[in-house]
Structure 1
Amino acid sequence: GAARLLVEIADITRFPNRAHFASWNGTAPIDASSGEQVRHRLSRAGNRQINRVLHIMATVQLRNPTEGRAYFDRKKASGKTSMEAMRALKRRLSDIVYRCMISDAVATMAAGPGGHRGTTTDSSVTDSHPPAGSSEKSLPGPAVTQDRTLLPAVS
């Protein structure tokens, strides 16, 4: 799931806020109200692969006593149906994924050119020809092959 998120989302900074991200992944609620009945339903649009990953995350959260399970139970206690509570949980997970990926992107930008804190352009990490120690240098000349002595066959 994490790999799918990284591949499909690519650059999280292309989404200006969590609402745009939720709309893109299909977890933003759609108004399905009629008359005095105020309801929202889950969008069938958006990136279905990311939506599936979020659905699996929500399902796993519901199987175990986690914060997600407590959130789902609070939504059910407030009068939401199971489907509505699941929609709310998926949106909450979408917001958490967005927040984590944004914080990682900010940390990476602050890290430096090599991707690690303290890395400079003078570092061997970013140099095209890193220095080689004596143990890393190749041996001069071709390797010499030695004849192997065959062991006698055991009968």
Structure 2
Amino acid sequence: MTAGDSPDRLRHESAFAALCGVSPVEVSSGPRKRHRLNIGGDRQANAALYRIVITRLRHDPVTRTYRDRRITEGKTPREVIRALKRYIAREIYTLLTYATP
């Protein structure tokens, strides 16, 4: 629904991520480099991506391994969820572009 009837109008996966509100925005202060999600975009699409992330974290061992590795690298659980939402948006964009005739 977010991409509409013409997903081909989205030229890059980063445009789809911005449309879903999962594009990273730098919020660094001091020596620590951090990002947060863009607060713009379709909130329903963002909520759907969040549900996908939570489901994968509960049931997919590969996603859990990724989360554990990133947490040991010093990332917070919130930052890990942000990265996973961006990754899933990339997967969905690929599916959308290949599904269009």
Q: 1 or 2, which has the higher helix percentage?
A: 2
Would you say 1:88 and 2:86 are equivalent positions?
A: no
Structure 2 Cα separation of the partners of residues 34 and 26 of structure 1? 22
TM-score, normalised to structure 2, is: 0.90
Specify the code of the residue in structure 2 equivalent to 1:77: T
> In the alignment, what sits opposite 2:36?
41
Corresponding residue for residue 3 of structure 2 = 9
TM-score (norm 1): 0.60
SS of the equivalent of 1:9 reads coil
Q: Say if 1:26 and 1:45, in contact at 8 Å, map to a contact too.
A: yes
Identity over aligned pairs, percent: 33
1:78 CA drift (Å):
1.8
Larger RCO of the pair (alpha carbons < 8 Å, separation 6+): 2
Question: 1:32-56 deviations in whole A, cap 9, x for unaligned?
Answer: 0112221111222111010010000
**Is the contact between residue 26 and residue 43 of structure 1 (CA under 8 Å) also seen in structure 2?**
yes
What's the counterpart of residue 28 of structure 1?
23
How many residues are paired up? 100
Structure 1 gap segments, 5+ residues each: 1-6, 110-155
Partner of 1:102: 97
